[in-house]
Amino acid sequence: MFRNAKLANLLTILSFWGIFVNLQFSSMSVILAFAGSNSSTSINYKLVKYTAGLIGEQEVQLINMANYPFPMYSEDNEREMGFSNSLIELRNDIMNAKGVIISVNEHNSNPSAYFKNVLDWLSRLERKFLEDTHVLLMATSPGKRGGMGSLEVIEKLLPRFGANVCATFSLPSFYDNFDTEKGIANTELAESHQKALAEFLSKI
């Protein structure tokens, strides 16, 4: 027991601060991974999950966006409903991550309305929600272009929110080139995927 009450209080404060700092650093040690699709059978989520499974020594937080329904963004909705707890949690997860892996789906050669809507909400809550964040950006589709239309749009868009898109990967003809148990079946595509992942991991 300390005889000096002020000293005891000081040590208590320092101890608390040390715990707080450790928690802050530990939260920054996570890689966040998700697909830009809210489909329960999303092939982009399957690609993200496979990619996350290849990361051995670092902790990965995998998010299924099918569990994150958001209303269509409008000024009226923002004014009347504000920002949902799910949106705030997603923003916090992104900003606390040391790196983010995203695989975007494609509708009519563009990002899906769902993912564009998610970006709209996030940017209204926090404009630079990806500030100084390294991103591995991927896409896949059943077609031969592998979602390249969507990938190219999002690759140009994310830096507006502060992101550093340090590597990209596109997987064409998903059902021909991806095996649920083995992953990417095509050797050349598998090597390109590994190279993109290694480039991303080298930056974080």
pLDDT beyond 50 at 25: no
Is 201 in a helix, a strand, or coil?
Answer: helix
The bridge status of strand 31-35 relative to strand 106-107 is unpaired
Whether 134 maps to a domain, the answer reads yes
Task: Output the CA torsion sign for 118, 122, 123, 124.
Answer: positive
Full residue range of the structural domain in which residue 196 is found = 30-203
147 is a domain residue: yes
Assigned domain for 12 exists: no
From 20-34, 140-154, 157-171, 181-195, the region with the lowest mean pLDDT? 20-34
pLDDT value, residue 56: 87
> H-type helices in the chain, by residue range?
5-27, 43-53, 75-81, 85-96, 113-125, 148-157, 174-177, 187-203
- What CATH number does the domain containing 140 carry? 3.40.50.360
Mean pLDDT (the chain, rounded)? 89
**Chain segment 110-163, per-residue pLDDT in tens:** 999 999 999 999 999 999 999 999 999 999 999 999 999 999 999 999 999 999
Q: Is 3 helix (H, G, I), strand (E, B) or coil?
A: coil
Is residue 133 in some structural domain? yes
Q: Is residue 22 part of a domain?
A: no
Q: What is the pLDDT of residue 28?
A: 52
Per-position b or e across 51-78, b if 16+ CB within 10 A of its CB = bbeebeeeebebbebeebebeebeeeee
Asked whether residue 2 is assigned to any structural domain, the reply reads no
Domain-located, residue 4: no
**How many C-beta atoms surround the C-beta of residue 147 within 10 A?**
29
Tens digits of residue pLDDT in 49-92: 999 999 988 999 999 999 999 999 999 999 999 999 999 999 99
pLDDT given at position 29: 75
CA distance 5 to 128: 44
How many domains does the chain contain in total?
A: 1
The answer to whether residue 173 is domain-embedded is: yes
